[in-house]
């Protein structure tokens, strides 16, 4: 029987079986709902009542739905721009914070807050500010709002990497006459690159998936609707095979991006 | 040491400024605005009248709304408790597996957490609705009678919340469990403690911070949730998040909506501080090393 080298004690074979049972139940709970969804998206009849054969026709139907294509386009614009902005801002913040070291509690709180502040609160706060200032809302307001939480996540990923950063190479660069900007550009950034890309991928998926803040800061009208907003509207009308297909696609994008992010930056995701 | 590394140097501050300005302008200012808004009066036509009042805060504690608050707290508490039991069991089981399999198990436990929240919630609509998989399964095994509606119930909301946040609890409980050294449990055994006593008196107390973190996280995300009640609870079902949503997008009473969110934030800050105290106690009162 395999024994753990550390961790909780393993009494006997029966306990080990119980552990396997628990894992089976929890993983079934986590994966059955998603699997059913993915399975149904390939069901020709489209109904959960009967399997009528494998088909990708519901994916084809998505490509003919102008609302969905428009929403996908908007989501891409929002995700790309908010990722670019938050990657630059978050990386600079992380480097600054780690060089400075003696950071007050208020600073840590401000950097940490965007990750824990409830979406609904940030969403109404931004909506209130934009409308009181008379800002016309649209994709641009979604982008700047997404940067708020995205930059915090990029910063967290890059900071995790900086904990094991060898600052002596920075000194070496300075000793060799490198200016601050050159040192940053030629030494610090290249070393951090895997973490920066991992952070950017994380920001990208967070932005693609984000619903509540986009919903509140998109302004009136359908012109700046994003994919999650479109999905939310569709779900409220009920279960359709198109939603199954769309949901499967959206889920795959997140999983691929996160698997890549994880690969680039082992164990660097916040919370791990 | 060169200037680049000096903590008194202004250059680190220069690197941080753009991001800090962004957070100031688009997080601190809007949140302060909401705080101020909570103390203004609602205008006759739904606008904002700039006279000070405590009416909005008082209205939050009006039985009509306070009851929604309590119901939200109840649902959030129940979801957090269930998630903690399941999550702790799963984390314990993962930590008991051979070391080399643990990272992969953990990765797959957390993977659903990183997929779209709406999609994960929608998956439960597919399972629970009147023509859904569970009803079909019941018919298939020969159940003829009328099945109670499963979607648009409080239970559906709780299931949805547990499902969505379980991976986080697994993560937060796994961290302290995997750090437990087996010698401590062995010592307890050698001293005559049964497996159950060892768990209850040794393992569990040492891993309480992980449970507390998981509980607070699920509670905080659940009590302010707006998507899950809206989708799995049906149109009539109201939690605080939905109430806030309605004040801003349909009822047009922004000051009251702002007051509701302020109370929500106060509750959450209180819980987070409580959790920090638990973590502090568990580390024997000594501060965790920086970094």
Residue at B233 is within a domain: yes
Q: Give the residue from B11, B20, B93 with the most A CB atoms within 10 Å of its CB, the best one to mutate.
A: B93
Q: Which domain holds residue B226?
A: 55-116+154-282
- Nearest-CB residue to B291 (from A102, A121, A163): A163
> A11: nearest CA in chain B?
B195
**How high is the pLDDT of residue A11?**
54
At residue B234 the predicted structure's pLDDT band, cuts being 50, 70 and 90, is confident
How far CA B77 is from CA of B25, B61, B72, B86, in Å, comes to: 34, 20, 8, 14
Torsion of CA B184, B189, B193, B196, to 10 degrees: 80
State whether A22 and B89 contact (CB < 8 Å): yes
**CB A223, CB A167: distance < 8 Å:** no
pLDDT band at B290 (very low <50, low <70, confident <90, very high): very low
Number of folded domains that form chain B: 1
Instruction: Name the token pair of A232.
Output: 């939310």
- Which CATH number is B226's domain given? 1.10.3720.10
Per-residue confidence (pLDDT) for residue A271, from 0 to 100:
40
Q: B141: exposed, middle or buried (C-beta count within 10 Å: 0-12, 13-18, 19+)?
A: exposed
CB contact (8 A) between residue B116 and residue A250:
yes
pLDDT at position B286 is: 44
pLDDT, tens digit (0-9, with 9 covering 90-100), for B40-66: 988 776 678 888 888 888 999 999 999
Instruction: Please indicate, yes or no, if residue B287 is contained in any of the structural domains.
Output: no
In the stretch 4-43 of chain A, residues with CB closer than 8 A to chain B read 4-11, 15-16, 19-20, 22-23, 26-27, 29-31, 33-34, 36-37, 40
Fold category of A65-264 in CATH: MetI-like fold (1.10.3720)
Highest mean pLDDT among A25-29, B4-8, B262-266, B276-280: A25-29
Residue A4 has what pLDDT?
A: 45
Question: pLDDT in tens for each of the 272 residues of chain A?
Answer: 444 445 555 557 788 899 999 999 999 999 999 999 999 899 888 777 678 889 889 999 999 999 999 999 999 999 999 999 999 999 999 998 888 777 778 888 888 889 888 888 999 999 999 999 999 999 999 999 999 999 999 999 999 888 888 888 888 887 888 787 788 888 888 889 999 999 999 999 999 999 999 999 998 878 899 999 999 999 887 788 889 999 999 999 888 888 888 788 764 444 43
ipTM: 0.87
Which residues 219-248 on chain A approach chain B with CB closer than 8 angstroms? 228, 231-232, 235-236, 238-239, 243-244, 247
Q: What pLDDT is recorded for position A266?
A: 65
> Distance from B108 to chain A by nearest Cα, in Å?
8
Answer whether residue B107 is part of any domain.
yes
Q: Which pLDDT value is given to residue A270? A: 44
pLDDT of residue A239: 82
Give domain status of residue B67, yes or no. yes
Contact B220 A124 (CB under 8 A): no
pLDDT given for residue A268 in this prediction = 46
Q: Chain B partners of A30 at a C-beta cutoff of 8 Å?
A: 109, 112, 163, 166-167
Query: Are A211 and B33 in contact (CB < 8 Å)?
Result: no
Confidence of residue B288 (pLDDT cuts 50, 70, 90): very low
Task: Give residue limits of the domains in chain A.
Answer: 65-264
The answer to whether the CB atoms of B33 and A129 lie below 8 A apart is: yes
Say what percent of chain B tops pLDDT 90.
41
Q: Which chain A residues are within 8 Å of B178, Cβ to Cβ?
A: 6-7
φ, ψ for residue B46, nearest 5 deg:
90, -5
* Residue B202 within a domain: yes
Q: State mean pLDDT over B11-25.
A: 90
Confidence of residue B33 (pLDDT cuts 50, 70, 90): very high
- What is the pLDDT averaged over residues B137-143? 77
Q: Do A19 and B93 touch (CB under 8 A)?
A: yes
List Cα–Cα distances, A185 to B3, B8, B11, B14, B271, in angstroms.
Answer: 16, 22, 15, 15, 42
DSSP string, chain B: --GGG-TT-SHHHHHHHHHHHHHIIIIIHHHHHHHHHTTEEEPTTSSEEEEE-SHHHHHHTSHHHHHHHHHHHHHHHHHHHHHHHHHHHHHHHHHHS-GGGHHHHHHHHHGGGGS-HHHHHHHHHHHHSTTSHHHHHHHHTT--SPPPP-SSSHHHHHHHHHHHHHHHHHHHHHHHHHH--HHHHHHHHHTT--HHHHIIIIIHHHTHHHHHHHHHHHHHHHHT--HHHHHHSTTT---HHHHHHHHHHTS--HHHHHHHHHHHHHHHHHHHHHHHHHHHHHTTTPPPPP-
- What residues does B48 pair with on adjacent strands? B42
Flag whether residue A165 sits within 8 Å of chain B, measured between CB atoms. no
Contact A48 B133 (CB under 8 A): yes
A-chain CB neighbours of B116 within 8 Å are 208-209, 228, 231, 247, 250-251, 254
CB pair distance less than 8 Å for B268 and A163: no
Q: What is the mean pLDDT of chain B?
A: 85
B260 part of a folded domain = yes
Helix (H) or strand (E) holding B260: helix B254-282
For residue A6, the model assigns a pLDDT of: 54
Q: Cβ B177–A231 below 8 Å, yes or no?
A: no
| pLDDT tens per residue across span B160-216 | 999 999 999 999 999 889 888 777 777 877 888 777 888 888 888 888 889 999 999
Shortest Cα–Cα distance, B85 to chain A (Å):
11
For residue A42, the distance in angstroms to the closest alpha carbon of chain B comes to 14
Query: Which of B96, B122, B254 faces A19 most closely, judged by CB atoms?
Result: B96
The shortest CB-CB distance from B126 to any of A37, A111, A175 is to A37
Instruction: Let me know if A40 is exposed, middle or buried by CB neighbors in 10 A (0-12, 13-18, 19+).
Output: buried
């Amino acid at each position: 029987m395999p024994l753990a080298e550390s961790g909780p004690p393993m009494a006997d074979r029966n306990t080990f079986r119980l552990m396997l049972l628990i894992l089976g139940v929890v993983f079934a709970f986590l994966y059955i709902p998603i699997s059913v969804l993915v399975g149904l998206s390939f069901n020709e009849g489209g109904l959960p009542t009967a399997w009528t054969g494998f088909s990708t026709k519901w994916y084809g139907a998505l490509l003919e739905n102008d609302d969905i294509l428009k929403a996908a386009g908007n989501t891409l614009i929002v995700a790309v721009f908010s990722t670019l902005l938050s990657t630059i801002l978050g990386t600079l913040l992380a480097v600054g914070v780690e060089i400075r070291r003696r950071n007050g509690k208020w600073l840590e709180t401000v950097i940490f807050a965007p990750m824990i502040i409830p979406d609904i609160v940030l969403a109404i706060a931004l909506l209130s500010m934009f409308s009181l200032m008379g800002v016309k809302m649209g994709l641009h307001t979604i982008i700047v709002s997404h940067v708020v939480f995205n930059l915090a996540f990029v910063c967290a990923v890059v900071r995790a990497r900086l904990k094991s950063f060898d600052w002596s190479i920075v000194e070496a660069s300075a000793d060799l006459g490198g200016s601050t900007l050159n040192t940053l550009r030629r030494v610090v950034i290249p070393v951090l690159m895997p973490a920066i890309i991992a952070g950017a991928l994380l920001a990208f998926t967070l932005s693609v998936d984000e619903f509540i803040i986009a919903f509140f800061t998109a302004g009136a009208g359908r012109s700046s609707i994003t994919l999650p907003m479109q999905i939310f509207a569709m779900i409220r009308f009920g279960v359709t095979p198109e939603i199954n297909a769309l949901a499967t696609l959206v889920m795959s994008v997140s999983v691929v991006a996160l698997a890549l992010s994880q690969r680039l930056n082992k164990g660097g995701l916040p919370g791990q | 040491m060169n200037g680049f590394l000096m903590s008194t140097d202004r250059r680190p501050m220069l690197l941080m400024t753009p991001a800090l300005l962004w957070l100031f302008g688009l997080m601190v200012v809007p949140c302060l605005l909401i705080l101020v808004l909570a103390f203004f009066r609602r205008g006759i036509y739904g606008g904002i009248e700039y006279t000070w009042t405590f009416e909005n805060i008082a209205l939050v504690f009006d039985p009509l709304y306070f009851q929604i608050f309590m119901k939200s707290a109840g649902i959030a508490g129940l979801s957090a408790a269930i998630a903690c039991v399941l999550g702790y069991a799963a984390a314990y089981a993962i930590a008991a597996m051979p070391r080399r399999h643990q990272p992969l198990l953990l990765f797959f436990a957390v993977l659903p957490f990183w997929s779209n929240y709406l999609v994960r919630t929608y998956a439960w609509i597919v399972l629970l609705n009147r023509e859904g998989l569970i009803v079909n399964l019941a018919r298939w095994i020969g159940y003829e009678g009328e099945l109670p509606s499963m979607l648009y119930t409080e239970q559906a909301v709780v299931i949805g919340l547990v499902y969505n946040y379980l991976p986080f609890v697994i993560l937060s409980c796994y961290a302290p469990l995997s750090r437990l050294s087996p010698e401590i449990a062995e010592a307890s055994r050698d001293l005559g403690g049964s497996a159950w006593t060892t768990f209850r008196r040794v393992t569990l107390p040492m891993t309480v911070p992980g449970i507390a973190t998981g509980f607070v996280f699920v509670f905080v995300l659940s009590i302010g949730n707006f998507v899950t009640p809206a989708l799995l609870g049906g149109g009539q079902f109201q939690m605080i998040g939905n109430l806030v949503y309605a004040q801003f997008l349909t009822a047009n009473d922004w000051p009251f909506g702002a007051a509701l969110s302020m109370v929500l934030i106060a509750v959450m800050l209180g819980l987070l501080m409580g959790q920090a105290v638990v973590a502090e106690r568990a580390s024997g009162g000594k501060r965790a090393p920086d970094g």
